[in-house]
C-alpha cells in the first residue's frame, strides 16, 4: 500500500481506505455590530381634516322663515317664563318650568349648528309653556 504525501499527512487505515485530516477551522468571525437602523424621523404632524357635517341646505327664504319661527317661539317662551315666575307654583309645575328652560337653552345652543333642531326645541318649549300657562287658574 502506498501513501502519497502532500502538505497534509494522510493516514492509511485499511487497504483502500484513507483517512483525511479534519478540515482547518475557520477563523473566528469578527462580530460586527448590527447595522444601525436609520433614525426614524418624527412623524409629521398629520392634520386631521374636520369631520364633515351633514346639514340641511336652506334657500335664503327658508333660512329667514326658520329663523323667524325660532325667534317668535323663543320670545313667547321668554314671556311665558316671566309670567310663570310671578306665580306660586307647586313642585310639578316648577319641574315643568325647569324643563321649559332646558329646551329653551338647548334651542339657543343649537341655532348655529342645526337650525331644524333649534326650531323643534323652541316649538316644544313654547308648547309646554303655553300649556302650563293655560292650566293655571
Model confidence over 5-39: pLDDT tens digits? 444 555 555 666 767 777 788 777 777 777 776 66
Q: 54 pLDDT band (50/70/90 cuts)?
A: confident
* Greater pLDDT, 126 or 3: 126
Domain residue ranges of the chain, discontinuous segments joined by + = 60-135
Residues 58 and 80: their CA atoms lie apart, in Å, by 30
For the chain, the distance separating the N- and C-terminal CA atoms, rounded to the nearest angstrom, is: 138
Residues 6+ positions from 81 with CB-CB distance below 8 Å: 97, 100, 101, 104, 129
Residues 41 and 48: their CA atoms lie apart, in Å, by 20
pTM: 0.61
Amino acid at each position: 500500500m502506498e501513501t502519497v504525501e502532500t502538505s497534509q499527512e494522510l493516514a492509511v487505515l485499511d487497504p483502500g481506505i484513507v483517512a483525511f485530516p479534519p478540515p482547518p477551522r475557520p477563523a473566528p468571525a469578527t462580530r460586527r455590530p448590527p447595522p444601525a437602523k436609520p433614525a426614524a424621523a418624527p412623524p409629521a404632524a398629520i392634520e386631521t381634516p374636520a369631520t364633515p357635517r351633514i346639514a340641511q341646505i336652506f334657500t335664503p327664504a327658508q333660512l329667514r322663515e326658520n329663523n323667524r319661527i325660532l325667534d317668535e317661539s323663543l320670545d313667547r317662551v321668554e314671556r311665558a317664563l316671566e309670567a310663570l315666575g310671578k306665580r306660586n307654583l307647586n313642585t310639578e309645575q316648577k319641574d315643568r318650568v325647569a324643563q321649559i328652560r332646558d329646551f329653551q337653552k338647548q334651542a339657543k345652543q343649537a341655532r348655529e349648528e342645526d337650525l331644524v333642531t333649534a326650531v323643534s326645541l323652541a316649538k316644544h318649549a313654547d308648547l309646554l309653556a303655553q300649556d302650563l300657562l293655560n292650566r293655571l287658574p
